[in-house]
A and B are shown apart, each in its own frame.
Chain A
Amino acid sequence: MSVAEAELAGTSHAPGIAALHPRRRRLSTRLLRSELRIIAGRRRNQAGLLVLAAVPIVMAIAVKMSTPRAGEGPDFLSSITSNGLFVPLAALSVEMAMFLPLAMSMLSGDAIAGEANLGTLRYLLTVPVNRTRLLLVKFASLCIGAVWGIAAVALPGAAIGIALFGTGPLTTLSGSQIGFGAAVWRLVLVILYLAAGLAGLAAVGLFISTLTEVPIAAAIALMVFTILSWILDSVPQLGWLHPWLLVDHWLAFGDLLRDPMAGGEIGRGLLTAAGYAVVFWLAAWARFAGKDITS
């Protein structure tokens, strides 16, 4: 019996059902949308977004209440009073160190390990969802989660900054002044650049998530990875390693606020993030594609 005959015979047992479901292979975003609904609907994630959003608000109010003393504070913080858009920039530079990576850790821990822990992974795979597709959808949802997290810092930050300090011309790090519209555009570029950095981190998290069935363990492992990266980045003797570290490039977003924009470091940052994303997504795939699902 040939394979063709076998298939013919197989469908002949249920002709009605076979006719109802012709073999459609269209690109569907339903699973991605469902994934985003789950991420957005989870209380813990909503609370996390509130914490992320609270930081720029606290910073802005603190600066507004204090009497400015010249020559103190980090770059952005002292510039806040001149233009409200410096509030989200200052908050982002603070939160990229720990808070935003922590948010990515929680999300990526949920991605595969969380589903395995609940047991929902086996039911997704028997729906069936192709494993490669599942990893692609999970990674896409993490990338969108990264944009959400950064927007949760930047948008409330911009709102309260503009409310408290106005929308005057923005003095770039090079000393020149640009108009408000151009400044908003720069802020959008910063958001996208940092989201790319977090996406690289999310790929690492996705890989870790395929190694365990305990979501919190995956989350902690990604935080350890992040903290180790920062530590290595702070050791001058390891200078040769720094360009290979994901976190080393993150604070280069200040280059987007120069006039004209300095692209070199930004480009290297994007390349590094893309490299991490590709390498670790492939590692996750290599691990997950043939894995026995016993959860």
Chain B
Amino acid sequence: MTQLTAEGEQAAPVGRASDVPSPAAPSPARAAVPDASLAIATHGLTKRFGSQVAVNDVDLRVPHGAVYGFLGPNGSGKTTTIRMLLGLIEPTAGSRSLLGMAIPQQATIALHRVGSLVEGPAFHPYLSGRANLERLDAADVLADPRTTRVRIGTALERVGLTAAAGKRYRAYSLGMRQRLAIAAALLAPRDLLVLDEPTNGLDPQGTREVRSLIGSLASDGTTVFVSSHLLAEVEQICSHLGVMRDGRLVAQGTASEVRGGGTVSLHLVTAQPEEAAAVLTALGVQSVIADVGEVRGIPGELEPEAIVAALVRAGVGVRSFTASSPSLEDLFVSLTGEGFDVSG
């Protein structure tokens, strides 16, 4: 697991090498041409606020059609990265493109095809949910006013807010507000959705609905970029993962690549832990720890079948044997550091 925790430079190529065959990747002019094969691409994206580096040399590569889970603890730079992607914040260094179009140069065309949810919902409190959506649609010069009513109705329907559409926003619960924000992101046909903590404030039922909504959008071909600090919700829906820590992207790639980067560990339950530990050590298993009734270790390249066979040959009774990749949560903790301390 150590090779992944070390630095972003080591971890990031996980995704680059195999996942995204990009014509722009080998190019020396890495900031010059927006990469059209990617829905989101950043090169050396960096943001300093005074002396503090909020985002440090981030190279995001989100392929078209992916559901990309953007993970990291609070304060790791996720939202600042998203704000830079959407042109709200100007990076100190680096470049970014959405759907192959450079931001901010082509932001007007690009952002029209991008639905976004940034740092929670925000609407006019004394307007109804529907009126708030009408206002956002009115602001979009590329939106067709003739279809406004239909599009708003469809978006409200999709998030299950039709019944409450006429209520004032200030009377909405947190979950309803979150749903309205997602409806706003779906107002126009989108090629890319950037959703910052989309299930914040939703009950378990609502969380499931959002998950299935993201799934159905993705199956329509929409690329979805979801940031979250909740692993469970990301684990189930994401095809790709990126992990932020202290402003750096410490891992990126397809979900299996990122998870495969974690080291397999074995767990043996036996009545003879001492003998088992001796056998395992002789086989070349690393970090063998014998405890009461169980043994742990890191098998490295050894096949689980060979280990069990060796144990049985040595007369060790095996009650249970597990060789497992780390859960996403273990991986997350190993990548981002344990504990609840907010980074920096």
Would B100 and A128 count as touching, CB distance under 8 A?
Answer: no
Would B36 and A23 count as touching, CB distance under 8 A?
Answer: no
Instruction: Bin the interface of chain B by size.
Output: 35 or more
Chain B residue contacts of A14, Cβ below 8 A: 113, 191, 221
1/0 per residue A176-217: CB within 8 Å of B?
Answer: 000000000000000000000000000000000000000000
1/0 per residue A1-37: CB within 8 Å of B?
Answer: 1110111111001101100110111101011011000
CB of B93 within 8 Å of the partner chain: no
Q: Contact check: which of B90, B113, B145 meets A17 at CB < 8 Å?
A: B113
Would A3 and B141 count as touching, CB distance under 8 A?
Answer: no
Beta-carbon nearest neighbor of A9 in chain B: B36
CB of B139 within 8 Å of the partner chain: yes
CA of A289 to CA of B118, assembled, Å:
20
Interchain nearest-CB distance for A129 vs B (Å): 5
Number of interface residues of A (CB under 8 A): 44
Would B138 and A33 count as touching, CB distance under 8 A?
Answer: yes
The stretch of B123-131, B204-212, B262-270, B299-307 in contact with A is: B123-131
CB of A62 within 8 Å of the partner chain: no
Would B88 and A293 count as touching, CB distance under 8 A?
Answer: yes
The dominant DSSP class at the B interface is loop
Interchain nearest-CB distance for B340 vs A (Å): 24
Would B139 and A34 count as touching, CB distance under 8 A?
Answer: yes
Beta-carbon nearest neighbor of B98 in chain A: A10
CA of A33 to CA of B221, assembled, Å:
35
The stretch of B101-109, B281-289, B323-331 in contact with A is: B101-109
State whether A13 and B88 are in contact (beta carbons under 8 Å apart), knowing that A6-B100, A21-B112 are contacts in the complex. no
Would B90 and A292 count as touching, CB distance under 8 A?
Answer: yes
Q: Contact check: which of B127, B139, B221 meets A31 at CB < 8 Å?
A: B139
State whether A127 and B123 are in contact (beta carbons under 8 Å apart), knowing that A9-B37, A21-B112, A34-B135 are contacts in the complex. no
Interchain nearest-CB distance for B106 vs A (Å): 9
Beta-carbon nearest neighbor of B85 in chain A: A126
1/0 per residue B196-218: CB within 8 Å of A?
Answer: 00000000000000000000000
CB of A258 within 8 Å of the partner chain: no
Most chain A CB neighbours (cut-off 10 Å) among B107, B125, B142: B142
Would B34 and A118 count as touching, CB distance under 8 A?
Answer: no
CA of A38 to CA of B125, assembled, Å:
11
1/0 per residue A266-290: CB within 8 Å of B?
Answer: 0000000000000000000000001
Q: Contact check: which of B39, B124, B139 meets A118 at CB < 8 Å?
A: B124
CA of A30 to CA of B146, assembled, Å:
12
Would A129 and B109 count as touching, CB distance under 8 A?
Answer: no
Would B126 and A42 count as touching, CB distance under 8 A?
Answer: yes
Q: Contact check: which of B107, B138, B190 meets A34 at CB < 8 Å?
A: B138
Would A17 and B191 count as touching, CB distance under 8 A?
Answer: yes
1/0 per residue A88-123: CB within 8 Å of B?
Answer: 000000000000000000000000000000111011
Would B23 and A1 count as touching, CB distance under 8 A?
Answer: yes
Would B112 and A1 count as touching, CB distance under 8 A?
Answer: no
Beta-carbon nearest neighbor of B118 in chain A: A122
Would A126 and B122 count as touching, CB distance under 8 A?
Answer: no
State whether A6 and B33 are in contact (beta carbons under 8 Å apart), knowing that A21-B142, A26-B141, A294-B83 are contacts in the complex. yes
Chain B residue contacts of A6, Cβ below 8 A: 33-36, 100
CA of A244 to CA of B114, assembled, Å:
47
Interchain nearest-CB distance for A8 vs B (Å): 8
Query: What would 13 more interface pairs be, CB under 8 Å, given A123-B118, A126-B86, A128-B140?
Result: A1-B23, A1-B36, A5-B36, A9-B37, A13-B99, A23-B109, A38-B124, A41-B127, A43-B126, A120-B123, A127-B111, A128-B107, A292-B89
> What are 26 of the A-B contact pairs (CB < 8 Å)?
A1-B24, A1-B36, A3-B33, A6-B33, A6-B34, A6-B35, A7-B101, A10-B100, A13-B64, A13-B191, A17-B189, A21-B113, A21-B188, A23-B109, A34-B139, A41-B127, A118-B124, A118-B125, A122-B83, A122-B119, A123-B136, A125-B88, A127-B112, A128-B107, A128-B111, A294-B89
